[in-house]
Every structure is written in C-alpha cells, then in structure tokens.
Structure 1
Amino acid sequence: MSLCWHEGVNKIYDRLFSTTDLEGRLKIICDGVVSVFGADFCRIWMIKQGDRCGDNCPHATSNDPRHLCRYRDRCLHLVASSGRYTHLDGFHGRVPYDCYKIGRIASGKEATFLTNEVTSDPRVHNHQWAARLGLVAFAGYQLRDNNGRVNGVLAFFADHRITAEQHAIVENLANSTAQVIQVSLHQEELEEKVRQRTAELLVTNSELRREIARKKQVQQALVASEHRFRSLVRDLPNIAVQGFDRSKTVVFWNRASEKLFGFRPEESLGRKIDSLILFDSRRPLFRKDLEAWIRQERTMPSGETVLRDKKGFPVPVYASYVALTNSQGEKEFYSIHIDLTEIKKAREASRKSELRYRELFDHMKSGVAVLRAVEEGQDFVFLDFNRAAEQIEGISREQILGRRMSRMFPETVSSGLLEIVRQVWKDGEPRYHPVVVSRNDTILSWRENSVYKLPSGEVVVLYDDLTREKRMESEKEAMARKLRRSRKMEAIGLMAGGVAHDLNNILSGIVSYPELLLRQIPENSSLQRPLEVINESGLRAAAIVADLLTVARGAASRKEPASLNSLITRYLQSAEHSQCMKANPGVVFATRLRPEIPPIRCSPVHIRKILMNLAYNGAEAIDGPGRVEIATDTGRLDQSSQTRNPLPAGEYAILTVRDTGPGMSAQDVERIFEPFYTTKTGGRSGTGLGLTIVWNAVQDHGGHIDVATGPDGTQFTIYFPVTDELPEKPRSTVDLDLLTGNGETILIVDDEPTQREIACHMLEHLGYRPVAVACGEEAVAHIRNHRVDLVLLDMIMEPGLSGRETYERIIEIRKDQRAIIATGFATSSEVEKVFEAGAAMLVKKPYTLEQLGQAIREELGRAD
C-alpha cells in the first residue's frame, strides 16, 4: 500500500509541470490527494498579502469577535478544491487569519493538524455536519516556503482513518506545494514583468513603424527582462535548476545546484548534464528518455531519484523537467531538483526507531494491547497487539486492529476490565486487575492485567496468561483433597472391616439358630414369635454390618454382568422402596430409562444399595410435595473430559438421581460422602453412612460420581463402565425342601468354634454329613487322607494358613475338589484368586439355611 501511495505522489509531481498556471498546479495537487489517498475532498488556501476583504466577505459582518477580519490584509483565499466540493466561493471561500481550523493552521497555532475523530474532536467546530457526511478524519498542513514565510494551507477531509505513513507523505507533499507556490509566485512576478514589457513592446512596435531606432531599445528591454529572470532563478534557495540545450550541454547552473552537487558554474557550464550528476549505470536510460523528451516524443518522467555529487556521493532528490523558449526563439531545457537528503534521514531514523520499538514490543513474553478511547472513553479500539497477545488469545494482529474492545472480548465487560481501562484513561493512575473465568469449578482462563496510560493518551494493557499454572494449582489442591478423603476412608474402612468380621461371626448364632429352632417347634408354640424377632433383629444387624463392609472398600463381592434398567426396576418393586414411599407420601418417584442401555459388570446388591440410599436421600431432602427422578443414559467420555472427570476415555452407562429439594451448601457438598456426616434434621432418619456407602460402591465399580446442586434441587450423576458380557437370568427362589442333600460329606474349615458348630447343625438339617476342622493345616491333612464332596471354607483364619492358601494346597492334592467360600469379611483380591483356582460360589456370613442350601446345591450340581 505504501508503494502505491508513493507512486501516486510521483504522478502528482509528474503532472505539476504540465502547466505553468499556479491555480492549475494547485488543482492537480488537490485532485491527487483525493485520488491517491481517498480523501472526501481537498482544498488549498493562499494568503494574499495586501488583499483586503470587502463587504461580501461572510466574516466581515459576524457578531462573533473571533471572526472579525482583524487581519483583512492577510485573509486566506480558497484557490483550489477537489472531491465532494469543487466550488471556490461560499463561507470558506475566504477564511480570516487565525480563525477556524484553517486560520489557526496558517497562524502557526496548529501548524500541522491531524485527527481521526472529527465527530468528537473539540477542535472541530461542526460535529453534526461531519457526522452527516460520514467524515472520520481531517488533516491540515501549513504551507511555509524556504524563507519561513507562510503562503497558505492545504487541508482535506476523509471518510476513513489517516495513517501515520499517509500523514507523513501528505506533509511532504505539502512542503513541496509550498515550494511550488513560492516558485510560481516568483514566476508570476517575472511573468507579470514580462507581460508589462510585452505591453510596452506592443506600444513600441506601433512606434517602430514610425521609428526603427526604437526597436533596439525594445530588444534591450527583453534581454534585460530575461537577465532578471535568470537572476531570480539563479538565486532560488534549495531548488537546484540546471539549463541545457538540445545537445544536453549545460548552459545554466544556479547557486542551489552548486550547493547540492558541489560543482561551481565554471565547472559545469559547457559539460554534458548526464556526465555531471548521473551515475554511470543510469546514464543510458536517462539519455534515451532525455532525447525522446527533447524531440517532444514524450514527457520526461518526474519523481524521486538518486544522483551523484562532485565527490561521487549519492544525492537523493525529487526531479522534474521544464522546456522554455528564450528571447531568441530557441528551446531551452531545465531540470529542477529538490534535495531529499534530510527527508530521507528523517525517514530512516523513523524506520529504525519503529523497528527497535517493534522488536521490543513483539519479543515481550507478556501480552501487550495498545488502546485508543472512542465515544469519550465508553469503549476502546485496538491500535496495536503484540505476538505474545496473539498466542494467548489465538487471534492475529490483523484481525483485531481497529476493532472495539467490548465486541472482540465481551468478557472484559462482565469481568470489570473495561471499567478499569476507563478509570485509567480518565485519571492516568495505573491499576492491577486479575480476571478469572471458570465453569463447573474448572478454570478456563486466568489473566493478570496491569493497565497504564501513555502521555500520548493511549491506554496500554500489559497482561500474562497464568491459566496453566492456576489450573495446575487447582488440580493439585483437588488431588490433595481426594488423597485426604481416600486416606480417611481407608482408615475408616480398615476399622469397619475388622468390626464387620467379628460381628458377622457373632451374628451367625443370632441369625442361624432361631431359623433352625423355628423349623423344629410347632407352629402354635409360644416361642415362635420371640424366635422370629430374634431372627429379624439378627438380619437387620447383618444388614448394618453389610453397610460397614461397603464402607470398607475392597470387601469381597461377586460381580456379574447386569442391566442397570433391570436393577432399577427391581429396586422400585422392593420392600425398601415401598417403605421409602410410605415415609415420604408427598414425594412422587419417576423414571426416565433409556432403552437398550449396555450392561455393566457389577455387584447387584451394591447397585441396589446405591439406588436405595440416593432415593431415600432425595426424598428426605424435600420438605413437602416434590419429585425424585431416576434416569439412565449412555455417553462417551473423551480425553478433554478428564479435567473434570478422572475416568479413562470410553463408553459409560450413566445413572442420574435428581430431587426437587432446596439444594445444599458448598460446605455440605464438600463433606457429604464422609462417614457419619449428615445434614438431616427435624427427626429425619439417617446414620450418616448412606452417601458414604454410595461413594465407596461407585469406586469399587470403577465408576465416578458428580454432584450438582442449586436452589432447584440436587442431582447425583454416576458413570459406570459398560461391558460386552450378557446379563445372566435372575435366580428364582427355591423351596427349602428341594435344597436337601443326600448325605454328601462337607468339610467345614473355620477357626471360630461357634461358627463350626452352627454350620454343622445347619448342614445336618439340610441332609448332609458335616466334618469340621479348626484351621487350614487340619483341612489339608484331612483331604490328604479322606475324600469329601465339598469344602465350606472360611477366608480369614488366624494363625496359620489363610483360606486362599488352604484351597491352593487342597487342589494340589485333589485338582477337582469343589469348594464354597463362606466369609464375614475378605478382600476382593483374595476371593478372586480362590475363584481363579476353581471355587465358584460365595456366601456371606451370617448365612441362612436357604442361602447355604442353594449355594451347596448349585455347586454340587455344577458340571465339571
């Protein structure tokens, strides 16, 4: 674009010498500014010394004292206009010196005037007119000749912004315009004198008809006039003029040429113009162009070029060419050169300064945005944007320059950063302002902004992107919380596991003996109801122990493929759910189950505990009428989900339980999964273990649970890994009479005497022949010497062999030995190893006759 502007200016200079008329040249400059720089309109005023305004001056009768023509002999006259307005009369046809923008530019109060905000700049007096025409920018330049005298003003309006480079180019053009006016004024003076002499010659010619002698006098006058012209051109400052004839021989060399090129007149006259000031490499093309111009085949091109001085050093100039006819009627050719050395130096210094600034600006590690206020500081537009800012925001500098801050980054409004920028712009005080954007407790971005105001009025925002560091800190803190929770749960789990093991052995007698006694006494016995109560109490106690085992993560549980929808349906038909509905009559339970959901590998008992606890929790959170919805769905987690969800990528079955209660506080959400922590008040039931059971069960299933809460309710969302295995058909209840044996031998291995005694009584009642031993070593010895049909094996026995080690030794003796694991507490890893070795069934202590009988019947009936 810069090259196009310079080429356009060169064409303006080319056209300047197509006419000798000053107003014609100034019209060419106005036309050029409009066409090259896209100005809406451009005008040139000249100060005409001694010209007094008449009554027709629109300012002469103004009541505003500022507009009285106090300097009528220095009034600015509009002499050239182009673009939207081409007329030279009207209100601005004459402008008082020192009034309005034009007069103030002429007086030097604002010798160079530039604004890109004409609709809001207080120096522009008619904002409504500018807005109506859609004008954006205005520039004005004082036209000062080489003697320091002001001879006019060049100004233009544009409907677009004027860049710094455009401003510099037009300012150079204005300087050249001042020189053109200066030369033209000198030339007009000379031409006026020539016209006067010509008029005299006309009179003289009429007299010469009568008196031939007077012809000599007229000739002498013409020679004198030409001499004066040459004298004036010779003394022109800073404009080097060389005259040469058709053979390119120098015939005129003014003082400015001597100063510019170092050749004295006596050194240059009589020599070829191209041999004096052209480098050897450029002479052939120059000679070709010059000869074609002399032959009047084409114009001599004007523009910036580089010539050489006497010492061979380069001299940057602006060159133009003029052809004149002398008093003898012969053609004389003139080259006019304006020295551009200082301008080039200034340009180079400006370029180097800009490069240094740009290097520093673009290599900063912090993002930097330079802003300019618009709409009186209500918003700001981007003037510059460094590379670090491009990388931080993911946007290029070209996409953002000139755009509004509030539109490009709407979050600066909501975060308060835009208001901080306004305050800094108003009072100039630097401010620091961090901006954090987060969603679902995940930091999306973290910017730390320092805002400053430059002396020029622009606002600079210096900022760093700390998103990664802050996100890592947040994740580290979350991991620390999870670790603390895991350690707390592990400690409680170890305690719960030990307690559960001992309680289950104690409960075996409370659960099993009443069941045996009930089968031996008459139905109308007075002992029947007490025994039933004892049995029911034992079963309830066993259920509590089962909850403790769930808290003790890693407790043994048999996992199998199952349909999540089927497990939900079975729970909703259970006695537990009926009891929940009775306890909360105002709560409606609803389901939204996605059909054909993939199966999950799970412990159905634990999934039922999850459903029961979440349903109870949701119902009891509602005070009065409300709704609890249980829903299922499927979803795929990708790598991007791991910032919030630690599960590996893959497909998951999703269980959602949502209530319409009042929600929970952030403190409650943080602690709801801790054992014995409860938010239930006002007589609501609850031990504080319910959600702990849910959390542990989800972890044991390789899943994840999220909690979302608000004034409209709370939602628990659980992710379970899906499996390709097909669910097994539900087992039907079998009549106890069909579970009796045929005298098969069953070896009981348990370190608890009471448990061995209970197991023997139950097996005898079921029709089996029990044999009991107290440790693993005795079991191995017995198997070595006797055959048994089945081993009923306890997993935890101290001291001596564990249940796993006992079974591994047994199958070394008898590879096909069938076994059932009976345990009050054992880790899943230990149980899985026994299953891998060949055992297939697991019964939890305390077990009932039905559970024991069905497990033995299935194991004995299992095909090898």
Structure 2
Amino acid sequence: MNDSAEKAVRVLVVDDEPAILAAFGEVLRPKTASAEGAAQRMRDLERTLFGDGESETGPLVELTALNQAEPAVEAVAQAVAQGRPFAVAFVDVRMPPGPDGVWAVKEMRARDQALEIVVMTAYSDVPPGRIAQMAPPPSKLLYMQKPFHAHELRQLVASLSDKWRSQRELERTQRELERRVEERTAQLAQANASLREEIERRRANQAELARSEQNLRLILDCLPVGLMITDSAGKVLRVNAAALKLSGHAHENDLLGRHCREIIAEHEQSPWPPSAEPGPSQPCESTLMRLSGEGLPVLVSAIALKLDGQDVLLQAIADLSERKNWERALNESEARYRQLVEFAPAGIYEFDFSASRFLSVNEVMLEYTGYDRDEFLALRPEKLLTPESLRDYLGQQKQLLAGDISSQTNEYQFYTKSGRTMWALVNANFVFDGQGRLVGRVVANDITARKQAEQDKVLMESRIRQAQKMEALGSLAGGVAHDFNNILNAVIGFTELTLRELGEQETPKAYLKHVLQAGRRASELVRQILTFSRGGEPEKKPIHVAIVVKEVLKLLRASLPAGIEIKQNIQNADELVLADPSQIHQVMMNLCANAAQAMGESGLLTVELRKVTLGRPLELDMASLPPGPYVQLVVADNGPGVEPAHIGRIFEPYFSTKSASGGTGLGLAVVHGIVKGLDGAIDVKSAPGAGCQFRVFLPIPGLAADDDQETPNHLPMGHETILLVDDEPELVRLGLGVLEVLGYRVESATDPEEALRMFLAEPARYDLLLTDQTMPKMTGLELIERVRARRGGLPVVLCTGYGEQVARILAQRGENVRLAQKPVLMAELAQAVRLALDETGPERREQ
C-alpha cells in the first residue's frame, strides 16, 4: 500500500440515486488535469445538487459508493476485519427496494462503534431521535437534509475525519499508557512475590525442622512395635513408648546411654547386636530383660541407617509372649480337635487337593458311606461323588486353586459302598498345612431326609401354583364372559326387535332366527364359562353329547399339528345324558389333548360316539357299571402307549410321565372326577408301542332335551314409567326399544350417579327401576340400596351375568328384587318386569 493510500480517509456513501453518488465522487475525490469541460460539468452538477457555492480543498479521501443498504453493511464489516475501517459514512434514509437507511445505520453501528455516521434525506419523515436510539452514541451521528453545498460537504468530511483520527490516536495513546502501567505493576508484584516467597521458605524450613522432630517422635510412639535406636557402639540413643512399655520402664532416660545387650539378651544362634551392614537383618527370637527382672520373649529385627548424619542401628522389638501362649493353646486345641473329630455327630474328613487324596476320616463319615477307613482313604472323588456333584466339585476346585475362594458350603450327592446315594451338606475350609499342602477340612451332615422333604415341598408348591393359575384363568374367563354377555345381549335383543318389525317377510325372519339361535348357543357357552370361573356346582340338564363332541373336534382341528389326522364316527346323535355341557366339553378337550401330546407332530386321533346297552353289570378296572343304556365315548391314538407300571396310576392327581414343562398331571384326574360325578365310568387300554384308548360310559336317563324357545308372539305389556340404567349405551338403546315395544314409558341413564340424581329429584315419577349390576362408580346393588332408602317399595329388576352370587347377597339382605340373567331375552325381560310390577302392587310402590 502506498503512502497516499495510508493517509487517505475512507468514506462510505450509500444512496440509491446514481447522481448523488457521482456528486460525492466529484466533490471528495482529488482533482486531476482533466479537461475544462469536465470541470465545468462538475460545477453545473454541484449547482444542480447543492446550489450555488465554491469548492474548497478538503482532506485526501478514499471514497466507496454503494446504492443499497445490505452491501454497505457488509462493506463496513469487511473494512473492520481488514483493519482499514471507514471514518465517515453518509447514508440515505430511503433506498428502495432493499432495507432503508435506518436499518443500515443500526447494523453499521453494531459492526463499527467508532464510525461517524451522517444520515441524509430530502424529507423529514424519520425523527432523528429514533435514529439516535438505534445507533448510539449521539456524538457519532449527524442528521442532514438535502441539498447541501459542496464546500459544506468537504468541510463536514474534514471535521469528522479529524475527529475520527483524534479519537483513534487518543485510544492508541491510552492503550500504550495502560500497557506500560501494567508492565511496571507486574514487575513490582513479581519482585514483592519473590521477596515474600523467600521469607516464607525460610520460615517453612525452620518449622519443618521442628515438625520433623515432633513427627518422628509421634511416629515412633504410635507404632505398636517397640523401637530402639543405638549408635555404632551399641549405646541407646532413643526408644519409643512401646519399647518402654515392653521393658517396664516409665521414662526414656532410664534406657538412654545403656548398652543394648543390657536390655536384649544375645540369642543363642545369632550374634547380637547384628552388624551394621546395609539392609535389614534376619529377624530372630531373643529375650528382653524387664525392669522386674523377668525375661520377655521377643522377635528382634534391625536395619542400619543414617540419622542426622550419624550411623545408627534401628531395632524393632515385637512381643512374642502372646504368640507363645497361642502356640501352647494351639497344641492343646489340636489334641481336643482330634477328640472332637472322632466323636462328632457329623462326618468329618480332610482332603489333600495337591495330591487329590483323602488324608483322614472320622467314624461317622465311614458309617455314612459304609466303607472301612482304609477303603475310604483309598477312594478318589470320581468314585465317591455322583456325576452332577462331581462337576460341581471340579468347578469349585478350579476356583480354589485359582485363589478365588477360601471356604465353601455346598450340597453333594455321595455313592455309598452298597451303591445307593445319600445327600450331604458339606462345609469346607481350605488352608495350607505345615507341609505346604492345600488341605480341605470338611464337615458333612447327612441331609438325605431333608432333600426328600424339599422335593416334596417343590411338588406341593408346583401344585399350588397350578391351582393359582387355574384360579387366575377362571377370573380372566369370568371377566371376558361378562363383557361378551353384554355384546350378546345387544345381538339377541336387537335381533328379537327386528323379528317383530319384519311382519310376514319369512326369508329374513328365517335368517334372523338362525342368528337368534346362534346367540342363544353363545349365551349358553358364556354361562358355562361363568360357571367355570366361579368354581360353582355345574348345572346338569339333558344334553346331546354328539353336539358337544362335534364342537370340540372343530375347535381342536385348528389347534392340532397338521400331521395329526382326526377320524370321527358319531352314531346315535339324538341320545341324551344328564350333564353340564361344559363338563362334556372339558372331558373331550382333556382326552384329545392328552392323545395329541402323546403322538407329537403326526398320528391318527380316533373319536367314536355310540349308544350301548348293557344286559348285565360291566366290570371295569376302576368301576362297575349296572345294566342299562349308556352313551359310549371312545378317544384313541396311535402314539407310543403307556408302560404297564403306569397304567394303575394314570388317573392319579399330578401323576405325569411328561417333563415338568409338558403337563401338570391334572388332565386325566379331572376327567375321572367329572365322569364319576355323572354316575359314569372310564377305563384305559394301552401297551408300549400300541397307542392308547380311553372309553367313557355315561348313563342315558330317558329325558327330553331343552329346546331353544322362540320369542312368544304375545308378551306381557304395561304402561308404567321405568327408570333404565346401564353403563353400555348399546344396551340402553336396546332396553329402550324393547320396553317401548311393550308399551312402557322409559327414561334412561348410562351413569348410575346420574340415575340416582334423576330418581331423587322425582321419586314418585318412576314405577320400576331396571338396572345393570356391574357398572363403574356404583354397582346395581348399591344403586338399589340408595333408591330404596328413599322409597322402600319401588319394584326393581336387576340384570346380571352372576345370578347365583347376586341372589345370595339379596337373600342375606332380605331384598325383594327380580333377577334377569344376561343375556336377557325379550320374553324374559317382559316377564320379569311385569312380575315385579304385579307382585308389588300400586299401593306398596308408593311406600
């Protein structure tokens, strides 16, 4: 960069009018030897833009002219980054189409705090105060209106440039002065710090000497081992508190200056005191002469070192009297241990892990195993332990040799000499004996009886868990059945309503009757599920066994492996037995599932049903059947069959030949219980490799079956007002439709609390309450109790899927409530409502 460029002042002009930018260039750029015509044009342009006036010579200017705000802001940022900032910026207020001059002024100030800014405009529509607020400080912001004279412009540029230079020079001077002050201050601070450090160092050295002496004394006195420091001649220089205590003296001065041999006797096998050679001496036992005159057994070790520049001998003295007492006690204990081992009520032996052999054994262990002493000591672990216990032993031996364990408690199964097995709880501690052998000292207690009891307990817990699973399954089934009941209620109810609306349209009516019949069968299935979930007594009634058998076979086909073929032979399908359908269903499911599990992925499952008549008693393996007609159900498979030893136990509860995950052992026991409860009998025929065949005999009572009843054409009707409550909107709509068809006036609610408010607002308005039992916030029984607390004689019909349970509760309360078992048929609902109203009578309803 040349010298003129360095002296030039950078000026930025931002205006969207090219004429203004050209005028600034002519006014501020230095004159050249241009043609007179150009000078004349310039003067004309000045008069046009700025009016009459004469030009004056101004400062050397490096002019940058831009016509938009955004490039101008970027130019200011680049100038600052390059270290050549603008001194003055002239900014027009209006510069379409981009941002205006007010935005430019704010952004320029954000990028250069020292920039002198002149806002110029031909209008006065932007208040100067607003611009000053956006680009402080006010001292660096001028506001000028167009037009203005060239000499004014040059004078303004000169003034602002001088101000800008002066400000920069002042800042440079101030920075230099601050730098010199900081440098001198740092020098003084460093000198002071060095002086303080020297003073503190000398004080610290003096204190450290005192502390070292004190700490040495404290350390020596705190050590539990006696310490005595002697010079090279053996004279005592210092002793610690422990050494004084061992010697029986109270003050250090009692021992200082004395020869060490007066205090510690020379050992018979080692010269004393040891030579003052580098390194510690070999510890040796000696006797310390106490003040009382008695000798104290001690262990002495010494090391030569320098202390305060003097060669000294540091001697450590440990009291051996307690160890000597321990050794005597240990010898006595060893003798007692031998006696205890022999007479202990548990098996005890020692085992050398290094040589993998037994070292000793007591009589009880010999009694456990049946071996004599020599035979036992000659045994190897693999001959004494069962394979599973041997694996455990070898794994723990590996941990022991790796140093991971030092003791263990485990249960091992041993072989006895006779070949039977016994369980023992083994507690072992591992130590290195005096010969360096890793020895296990083992106590073994016979726990065979306890293990048997534990196995019995595990079996019982398994049975309890199975029972709990069945209970949980029953609860789940009950919940699903309840929800399904509500769905069936809507299906059956709306079907009945639709049948009444069809009139003489026989074809749709026939279809809907099939829907109604299917709904009733589903209702019966739900009732069976609820009976199962409640665990109550099944309801016996005449049923067609063939129907249940066919339904089970359809269900099984989807769940059995594809390789199992089902062959059925159903005869005499009209024969009846007295039973609960769910019981026959369970018998079929358990027998077929048992056969399928026996066959695995492929096989032939045969199911036969026929009527047989016994002319004389039939003797079976587990029962005797009297003469008479029977339905005979046969379930057979071609699986592996049953061992003869197991045939007699096949119907026992929890007896199973499957693995723990393959069955509970309850299926056939349940089948036997059901058949026996129906006054029937069951037997089994099987042989290994010949499959298995079960025969079930159920007596034929000679009764008529319960047929599905169609909805009567003439239903009991009425005109009373009924309050209908159910949390299911679909069932509320169904109830409204049925009751209105029957002639009743109905008001409904899906919230029992809302229903209670409706009733309490006008108790006399309603002639009967028809409510569901299971509802959120309030059950049907609770709603009945609160309603009758206000009006005791109000007739009530309660709809529920748990009729038996609710009936017991009502009986205990003495409540007169009509029950309707879900799903409720139209005829049943009409009958229940009419009976409830007629039983109470108008007089009692008002009470």
Question: Please, what TM-score do these two structures have when normalized by structure 2?
Answer: 0.32
Structure number with greater Rg is 2
